[in-house]
Amino acid sequence: MVVVRTLLMVVVMVMGLLSVFQRSIMYPATRAQRLPVAAFPETARLFAAASDVRLRTADGAQIGGWHLRAQSGRNSRLMLLFHGNAGHRAGRTGWYRLAAGLKCDVLAIDYHGYGDSEGSPTEQHLINDAQAAWQHATGPLGYLPEQIVITGESLGGGVAVRLAADVCRAGQQPHGLLLMATFDSMLNAAGFHFPWVPVGLLLLDRWHSDRHIADVNCRIVQYHGDQDSVVPLPLGQRLHQQARAVSRDGRAKLFRLLRDSGHNGLLQQHAATFRSELAELFDN
């Protein structure tokens, strides 16, 4: 009986800690005082022009980002990039190399509390960040919605799906939605990692991409590793199943299974595959 009570107390304590610190676990942000793109010559060298941006979000926070231009004009496709839950924009060199190889521009931002961005990360704050990035891309930067491929990796896939659904519902159809190693919902991802915790009662930020992706009417291309232990393959497959079969311009949704691949390092492991397969998405 004493052992049972002790075990129950330990479980309750652990559940309490997870409840209190869940956002620290979900958003292990890396901070930086300043992140000027000029301090990262390997990235700047890939593009014809590179500049820093500061955006004001709906809740009043200032967030940082980079605008990387493949050529001098404004006729390029734009990759609107939302990164995963760790690090910050300076650590996304693989994405920048891919974009440079595809000859497309990039707008990469850091969420609330990441890099040199103000505030603290929550689901609503990241949604605000994405909206601010879209407004900056289609406003001051001068891109048309149909020039933009909204791109998200892991947690950034949840950000990307929500933004794509919101702008499609508003009649601003982007060119495409590119997803990498992402989930149908954070609720299911958390349930996988903590099966003994009642995440349905405790989880604050649920990221229900499965409830939004059906409203995305642009092209959808999704990649997932078959050995992903962070976001298991079934979560990505379920998200794909919830998406529209065909986009508004008649393109079938695509799900690409990456063999012998986990969650991290996909851009390096499959660089040649991505360059060849994504050329059509970013060219046409």
Question: Residue 80 is part of a domain; what is its CATH number?
Answer: 3.40.50.1820
Structure-block tokens of residue 151: 């791109």
DSSP state of 253: P
pLDDT at res. 283: 85
Instruction: Give the pLDDT of residue 21.
Output: 75
Number of domains within the chain: 1
Contact 78, 106 (CB under 8 A): yes
Name every residue whose Cβ is closer than 8 Å to that of residue 3 and which is 6 or more positions away in sequence: none
CB-CB contact of 181 with 236 (8 Å): yes
- List, for the chain, all residue ranges whose pLDDT scores fall below the cut of 50: 2-4, 6-17
Residue 21's domain comprises 2-283
What pLDDT was estimated at residue 36? Answer: 98
- pLDDT score for 20: 64
